[in-house]
C-alpha cells in the first residue's frame, strides 16, 4: 500500500525560510550516543525518486533484520515535490514523503540509513540529521560522493577509511566497502557515533558497495514512482 502525501502546512517555501529551520533544528542533533550495536534489531533504508516534470516524489522505507539482512517490512509514500531544487536544502524536497513512508511501517524501524548526508553537509544538517531530529530515531548517512569535502584515498582493503574533512574538522569518513572499489561517504545523522556509523555500513555491505538498505529502498521507490506516474517498467 502506498500513502499519498500533501505538502505540510507551513512548510518552508524559500531558501531563507529553510535555512532558518535548519539553524533551529541543528541545535537538537545528539552526537554523544552510541546507537544500536551493528547486526542487532532492525535497520531501515529510506530513499526517494523524483519526476520533476510531473511534480511527483516517491519515498520508500525498507526494514531489514539487521542480523540476516532479510526484508521484514516495507512501505512507500507518494506526494508533490515540496521544495525547489537548492543544493544544501534537498531534505526539504524529501522529508514529508520519507516521514509518511516511515509512519506507514508496521514495526519500529530501528536505525535509519539515508542515501545522503548527516553532519557531512555544508550546514552540518543533511537529510540524516534532519530526519533523526524530527523522528527521534538513530540515523546515519551513507552517500555515493563526498559533496564538497576533502579526503585521502583509503587503503585498498575493505574496511579501510580516511577522514572526510572540512578544513581540520572531520565531518565523516570515506569508507571502503569492497576491496579496491570506490569508497562510500559515511556521516553521523543523530544519536550515533561515527565509529558506529562505519560499523553499521560494513555490516550492511556484505556483497556490494552500497548498503543493502539503500539498494532495497532505491529499487522500491523507483517502482513506486513508475506506478504513480503510469510509466512502463524499463527492460
In CATH terms, the superfamily for domain 2-229 is archaeoglobus fulgidus dsm 4304 superfamily (3.30.2170.10)
H-helix segments, the chain: 15-26, 91-103, 127-135, 194-203, 212-229
For residue 148, name the pLDDT band (cuts at 50, 70, 90).
Answer: confident
Q: What is the pTM of this model?
A: 0.95
CB distance 221 to 48 below 8 Å: yes
Q: pLDDT by residue (tens digit) across 64-115?
A: 999 999 999 999 999 999 999 999 999 999 999 999 999 999 999 999 999 9
Q: What ranges do the domains of the chain cover?
A: 2-229
Q: pLDDT by residue (tens digit) across 17-75?
A: 999 999 999 999 999 899 999 999 999 999 999 999 999 999 999 999 999 999 999 99
Ranges of beta strands (E only) in 40-129 are 42-51, 56-65, 71-79, 111-114
Question: Percentage of the chain surpassing pLDDT 90?
Answer: 94
Buried b or exposed e, range 61-84, using 16+ CB within 10 angstroms: bbbbbbeebeeebbbbbbbebbbe
Q: Quote the Cα angle for 63-137-118, to 5°.
A: 95
Confidence at residue 230, expressed as pLDDT on a 0 to 100 scale: 87
Whole-angstrom distance, CA of residue 184 vs CA of residue 203: 14
Amino acid at each position: 500500500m502506498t500513502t499519498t502525501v500533501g505538502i505540510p502546512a507551513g512548510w518552508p517555501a524559500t531558501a531563507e525560510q529553510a535555512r532558518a529551520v535548519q539553524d533551529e533544528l541543528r541545535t537538537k542533533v545528539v552526537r554523544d550516543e552510541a546507537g544500536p550495536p551493528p547486526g542487532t534489531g532492525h535497520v531501515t533504508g529510506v530513499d526517494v525518486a523524483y519526476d520533476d516534470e510531473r511534480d511527483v516524489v516517491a519515498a520508500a522505507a525498507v526494514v531489514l533484520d539487521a542480523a540476516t539482512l532479510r526484508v521484514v517490512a516495507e512501505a512507500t509514500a507518494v506526494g508533490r515535490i515540496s521544495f525547489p531544487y537548492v543544493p544544501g536544502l534537498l531534505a526539504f524536497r524529501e522529508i514529508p514523503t520519507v516521514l509518511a513512508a516511515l509512519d506507514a511501517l508496521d514495526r519500529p524501524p530501528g536505525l535509519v540509513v539515508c542515501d545522503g548526508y548527516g553532519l557531512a553537509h555544508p550546514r552540518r544538517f543533511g537529510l540524516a540529521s534532519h530526519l533523526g531530529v524530527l523522528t527521534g530515531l538513530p540515523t546515519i548517512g551513507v552517500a555515493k560522493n563526498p559533496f564538497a569535502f576533502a579526503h585521502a584515498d583509503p587503503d585498498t582493503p575493505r574496511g579501510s577509511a580516511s577522514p572526510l574533512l572540512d578544513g581540520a574538522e572531520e565531518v565523516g569518513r570515506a569508507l571502503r566497502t569492497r576491496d579496491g572499489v570506490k569508497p562510500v561517504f559515511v556521516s553521523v545523522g543523530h544519536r550515533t557515533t561515527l565509529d558506529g556509523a562505519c560499523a553499521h555500513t560494513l555490516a550492511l555491505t556484505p556483497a556490494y558497495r552500497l548498503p543493502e538498505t539503500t539498494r532495497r529502498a532505491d529499487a522500491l521507490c523507483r517502482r513506486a514512482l513508475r506506478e504513480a506516474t503510469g510509466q512502463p517498467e524499463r527492460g
